[in-house]
């Protein structure tokens, strides 16, 4: 399937990126020639997304000003100035700005990847193609530890041959890292709690039901969590040239 709407989680405080984030939101930190969030938007637009909800909180005015320049997709702002909603609550609030009956992609605004193959479908296209709501609550993009830059070294899940995911435990086969991109149906959160909550609640629920699946990321995955991670990320981007 082609997924035409998306939610970008961009409201975090970016505390580990201080002092840079004392004066700007983390998604606007530049890697190479553009802010991190622009790599995210590039990937979404290339995959066919036409409408993107973005939540804002920290230096929200800067985020809104930057997003007004985006003309390739319709941007809808999910305003969290009054209360930061955490990953789950922020996602639920943002999804209300999208079509509840259509699938959505979800991405974190502080990570991206480079090195996809020009002659093959992009990572997000492959993720959308894998997602089957009849069998899955969520499909998520995953990457092997060896193809990450700036990551903390922890594995998140173990991926079975059919793509089904379980929480990683030491010694489990096929360990992978969650690469910060999901495909899901908005109605998954019809029973979501009011207010802030962590999205891991729904990851664990999907695992228990055997309905969390993963897609292998192609290329090198980058997360920029601290000032020290900027230089390694820029080196990777320079080596690959562009995000695709």
- The model's pLDDT over 66-94, given as tens digits with 9 standing for 90+, comes to 999 899 999 999 999 988 899 999 999 99
- The model's pLDDT over 15-34, given as tens digits with 9 standing for 90+, comes to 888 998 999 899 999 998 89
| pLDDT average, residue stretch 164-185 | 95
Please provide the CATH number assigned to the domain covering 5-240.
3.90.550.10
At 243, the pLDDT band (50, 70, 90 cuts) reads very low
Locate the domains of the chain by residue range: 5-240
Question: Phi first, then psi: what are they for 169, rounded to 5°?
Answer: -125, 150
The rounded distance, in Å, linking the Cα atoms of 79 and 81 is: 6
At 146, the pLDDT band (50, 70, 90 cuts) reads very high
Q: What's the Cα-to-Cα distance from 24 to each of 33, 167, 228, 233, rounded to whole Å?
A: 17, 34, 17, 19
Q: What is the pLDDT of the chain when averaged over all its residues?
A: 93
At 119, the pLDDT band (50, 70, 90 cuts) reads confident
- The model's pLDDT over 187-236, given as tens digits with 9 standing for 90+, comes to 999 999 889 999 999 999 999 999 999 999 999 999 988 998 899 899 99
| CB-based contact 75:52 (threshold 8 Å) | yes
Two tokens, residue 33: 């020639």
Give me the pLDDT at residue 242, please. Answer: 52
CB count within 10 Å of CB 210 equals 13
| CB-based contact 49:41 (threshold 8 Å) | no
Percent pLDDT > 70 in the chain is 98
Most confident of 19-33, 44-58, 145-159, 221-235: 44-58
What pTM was estimated for this model as a whole?
A: 0.93
In this predicted structure, the answer to whether residue 171 has a pLDDT above a threshold of 90 is no
Nearest to 216 by CA among 120, 93, 152: 120
Q: Where are the beta strands (DSSP E) in 23-170?
A: 30-31, 34-35, 51-56, 74-79, 104-108, 111-114, 138-143, 148-149, 157-159, 165-167
Give me the pLDDT at residue 180, please. Answer: 95
Q: Does a cis peptide bond (omega within 30 degrees of 0) precede residue 19?
A: yes
Two tokens, residue 178: 């969650």
Contacts of 239 (CB under 8 A, 6+ apart): none
Give me the pLDDT at residue 10, please. Answer: 95
The rounded distance, in Å, linking the Cα atoms of 228 and 240 is: 20
| CB-based contact 223:177 (threshold 8 Å) | no
Across the chain, how many H-helices and E-strands are there?
Answer: 6, 14
Percent pLDDT > 90 in the chain is 81
In this predicted structure, the answer to whether residue 45 has a pLDDT above a threshold of 70 is yes
At 1, the pLDDT band (50, 70, 90 cuts) reads confident
């Amino acid at each position: 399937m082609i997924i035409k709407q998306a939610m970008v989680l961009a409201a975090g405080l970016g505390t580990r990126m201080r002092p840079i984030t004392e004066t700007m939101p983390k998604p606007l930190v530049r890697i190479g020639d553009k802010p991190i969030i622009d790599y995210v938007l590039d990937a979404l637009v290339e995959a066919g997304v036409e409408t993107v909800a973005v939540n804002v909180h920290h230096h929200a005015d800067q985020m809104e000003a930057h997003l007004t320049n985006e003309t390739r997709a319709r941007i809808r702002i999910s305003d969290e100035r009054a209360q930061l909603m955490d990953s789950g609550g922020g996602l639920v609030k943002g999804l209300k700005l999208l079509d509840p009956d259509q699938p959505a992609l979800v991405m974190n605004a502080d990570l991206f990847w480079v090195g996809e193959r020009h002659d093959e479908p992009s990572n997000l296209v492959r993720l959308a193609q894998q997602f089957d709501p009849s069998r899955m609550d969520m499909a998520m993009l995953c990457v092997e530890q060896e193809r990450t830059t700036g990551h903390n070294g922890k594995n998140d899940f173990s991926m079975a041959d059919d793509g089904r995911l379980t929480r990683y435990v030491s010694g489990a086969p096929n360990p992978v890292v969650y690469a910060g991109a999901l495909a899901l149906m908005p109605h998954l959160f019809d029973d979501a709690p009011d207010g802030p909550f962590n999205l891991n609640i729904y990851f664990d629920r999907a695992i228990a039901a055997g309905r969390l699946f993963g897609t292998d990321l192609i290329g090198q995955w980058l997360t920029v969590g601290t000032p020290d991670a900027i230089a390694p990320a820029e080196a990777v981007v320079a080596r690959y040239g562009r995000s695709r």
